[in-house]
Structure 1
Amino acid sequence: MPELPEVETTRRGIEPHLTGRRITQVHIRQPRLRWPIPTDLPHRLQGRTITRVERRGKYLLIQCPPGTVLIHLGMSGSLRLVPPDAPPRPHDHVDLTLDSGLTLRLHDPRRFGALLWFDPETGNHPLLAHLGPEPLGDSFDADYLFRISRGRRISIKALIMNSQVVVGVGNIYASESLFLAGIRPRRAAGRLTRAEATRLVAAIRQVLEASIAQGGTTLRDFVHEDGAHGYFSQSLRVYGRPQAPCTTCQTPIKHITQGGRSSYYCPTCQK
């Protein structure tokens, strides 16, 4: 699934081509995604000018006053900028053609993504209403993480993967961040010390920023707006490396399952 770094990489890739551009045509080939695409979307969008392209968690927000297009890439979705006469491939579901001549094309083989419309003046969209702070923002700091972890019996990995606590820390990035912070993924969140909270916040920021810089982590079929793959997977220290030597101490990496998801850690470096 595209995570925060992949979505942020996509946002940065498409933003220069969308901001200030007018939408001249909307073509919906397949409206049945995770939630149906609004039938009046072409009417709402055609002729609108895009003022900003933002990200909230794993959601892309294309501002077209007086409304906003909300896009989620689901399990295997991607956005690409193509010439308007580029023939659609299978699973190319939506085209937004711009006055520049380029077309923003939504590709989603599993159709688990979303393309919706809402008016911010009437309130936040329900999908955004309960999201926690951005991990790269000022409101996510050691004091916040330490405070919100108090009395929690769930694992620290489950806590930082909870989007109501902090957005965008997916499974891969949680494992990598906990390794850098020296904390085992099964540790009860309530046992986190203030010093560990400081290390973990710094590690989450470091891992996410490194992944964004390298274009995200591509493990299956996610590609960026230009069709290029991310390369952060080549820098993973523990995730997907069971029994491989730890890059720090050479101890074999352990693999466990938490909540139906794989976790990886070094039994020596992480306590």
Structure 2
Amino acid sequence: MPELPEIETIKGIIEPQVQGLTIKNVIVNRPEVIAYPAANAFCDLLTGQTISHMERRGKFLLFALDSGDRIVLHLRMTGCLLLTPAGHPEEKHTHIIFELNNDMELRFSDMRRFGRFWLIQAGENDTYSGIDKLGPDPIGDGLTPEFLEARVGKRKKPIKVCLMDQKIIAGIGNIYSDEILFSAGIHPGRPADSLSADEWERLAETIPEVLAWFIEKDSVTPEEYLRGRGRDYRNTPFLQVYGREGGPCRICKTSLCRTVIGGRSSTFCPVCQMDFLRSAD
């Protein structure tokens, strides 16, 4: 599933290309990917509207329209957003096409069809997408050790599970929770209530640093993004631990270990993150 760095990359690629463009027509091949309102109303309300700018909130993408309306999109596991010339070969599983007034098309494809769109009209409260329930954004919202400790410092759940809770912090998933905890030297299975004040401070510093680093590593041109079909730009070579079970730790060369935490696969270094082992003694 795309997480905050990938969503920020998509925004950075798409936004400059669609600002000021008008939606001439909306083609919906799979009505079920439009969660609100009904598909016909979604198309009718958007036709003729002009895109002002884009925003990111956690893992959500938002298209702000000149009217004050906004399109909310969550890509979920396999959703993909591409801006293509009108005659460009269509990706398999393309469910929605926004025809723009410069002969370009904004296309949404999704193999598993979990991605969802919402259209929230000007003055309307978004009680539909779940975006109102998100915690603060870890980049730019002034994440502090005090906030983290106050929110989860008394919980016995593993710290990795807490980091992935979108109601606590918006945008972190399975991949970057592993990367953040490795960089902070904290075992992903540590109960949140066992972290010290120093560890909360280290974690608050590490979260935005790691996410910003991966956003930088994700950087691609619009041409590269289109050529890779919106999928092949990701920063897999730069991952320190996630998906590298059995490989050497990039710091101490010890073989990385895998465990399951909160039902999700988690990779860690048994040396660099062995604070958990010490606390269990």
Same-fold call, TM cutoff 0.5:
yes
Q: Distance in 2 between matches of 1:183 and 1:88?
A: 44
Residue 264 in structure 1 maps to residue 267 in structure 2: yes
Where does residue 50 of structure 2 map in the other structure? 49
Q: Deviations over 1:116-165 (max 9, x none)?
A: 21125122343111100001123322221122122111111111110000
Where does residue 58 of structure 1 map in the other structure? 59
Q: Distance in 2 between matches of 1:44 and 1:83?
A: 24
- Once the two structures are TM-superposed, the CA of residue 251 in structure 1 deviates from its matched residue by 1.9
Q: Distance in 2 between matches of 1:190 and 1:55?
A: 31
> Structure 1 34/160 Cα, relative in aligned 2: closer, same or farther at 3 Å?
farther
Secondary structure of residue in 1 paired with 2:169:
coil
- Letter matched to residue 8 of structure 2: E
Q: What TM-score results when the alignment is normalised by the length of structure 1?
A: 0.91
Q: Distance in 2 between matches of 1:231 and 1:43?
A: 35
- Letter matched to residue 42 of structure 1: C
- Letter matched to residue 54 of structure 2: V
- Letter matched to residue 44 of structure 2: H
Q: Please tell me whether the aligned partners of residues 5 and 211 of structure 1 are also in contact (alpha carbons under 8 angstroms).
A: yes
- Once the two structures are TM-superposed, the CA of residue 180 in structure 1 deviates from its matched residue by 0.7
Secondary structure of residue in 1 paired with 2:209:
helix
Q: Please tell me whether the aligned partners of residues 71 and 119 of structure 2 are also in contact (alpha carbons under 8 angstroms).
A: yes
Q: Distance in 1 between matches of 2:141 and 2:41?
A: 38
Q: Please tell me whether the aligned partners of residues 21 and 49 of structure 1 are also in contact (alpha carbons under 8 angstroms).
A: yes
Secondary structure of residue in 1 paired with 2:181:
helix
Where does residue 24 of structure 1 map in the other structure? 24
Structure that is richer in helix per residue: 2
Residue 3 in structure 1 maps to residue 8 in structure 2: no
Q: Please tell me whether the aligned partners of residues 23 and 48 of structure 1 are also in contact (alpha carbons under 8 angstroms).
A: yes
Q: Distance in 1 between matches of 2:42 and 2:69?
A: 11
Residue among 149, 163, 182 paired with 1:146: 149
Residue 98 in structure 1 maps to residue 91 in structure 2: no
Percent of aligned pairs with the same residue?
36
Q: Deviations over 1:160-200 (max 9, x none)?
A: 11000001111110011101101111111112222111211
Q: Distance in 1 between matches of 2:260 and 2:91?
A: 37
Aligned residues: 265
Q: Which moved more, 1:114-123 or 1:125-134?
A: 114-123
Q: Please tell me whether the aligned partners of residues 83 and 106 of structure 2 are also in contact (alpha carbons under 8 angstroms).
A: yes
Secondary structure of residue in 2 paired with 1:93:
strand
Residue among 129, 133, 154 paired with 2:132: 129
Secondary structure of residue in 2 paired with 1:198:
helix
> Structure 1 206/140 Cα, relative in aligned 2: closer, same or farther at 3 Å?
same
- Once the two structures are TM-superposed, the CA of residue 263 in structure 1 deviates from its matched residue by 0.8
Once superposed, which parts of structure 1, at least 4 consecutive aligned residues long, lie more than 6 Å away? none
Unpaired segments ≥5 residues, structure 1: 217-222
Query: Any residues of structure 2 matched to 1:1-271 within 5 Å, and which?
Result: 1-33=1-33, 35=35, 38-64=39-65, 65-126=67-128, 127-215=130-218, 224=225, 227-228=229-230, 229-270=232-273, 271=275
> Structure 1 232/86 Cα, relative in aligned 2: closer, same or farther at 3 Å?
closer
Q: Please tell me whether the aligned partners of residues 8 and 212 of structure 1 are also in contact (alpha carbons under 8 angstroms).
A: yes
Q: Distance in 1 between matches of 2:164 and 2:226?
A: 26
- Once the two structures are TM-superposed, the CA of residue 257 in structure 1 deviates from its matched residue by 0.6
Unpaired segments ≥5 residues, structure 2: 276-281
- Letter matched to residue 110 of structure 1: R
- Letter matched to residue 199 of structure 1: R
- Once the two structures are TM-superposed, the CA of residue 34 in structure 1 deviates from its matched residue by 7.3
Q: Please tell me whether the aligned partners of residues 34 and 118 of structure 2 are also in contact (alpha carbons under 8 angstroms).
A: no
Q: Please tell me whether the aligned partners of residues 6 and 234 of structure 2 are also in contact (alpha carbons under 8 angstroms).
A: no
Q: Which moved more, 1:57-66 or 1:242-251?
A: 242-251
- Once the two structures are TM-superposed, the CA of residue 86 in structure 1 deviates from its matched residue by 2.9
- Letter matched to residue 2 of structure 1: P
Q: Distance in 1 between matches of 2:233 and 2:146?
A: 33
Q: Please tell me whether the aligned partners of residues 38 and 117 of structure 1 are also in contact (alpha carbons under 8 angstroms).
A: no
Q: Distance in 2 between matches of 1:232 and 1:9?
A: 11
Q: Please tell me whether the aligned partners of residues 134 and 168 of structure 1 are also in contact (alpha carbons under 8 angstroms).
A: yes
Q: Deviations over 1:53-109 (max 9, x none)?
A: 111111111112231111111211111111123343331111111122211011111
Q: Please tell me whether the aligned partners of residues 78 and 108 of structure 1 are also in contact (alpha carbons under 8 angstroms).
A: yes
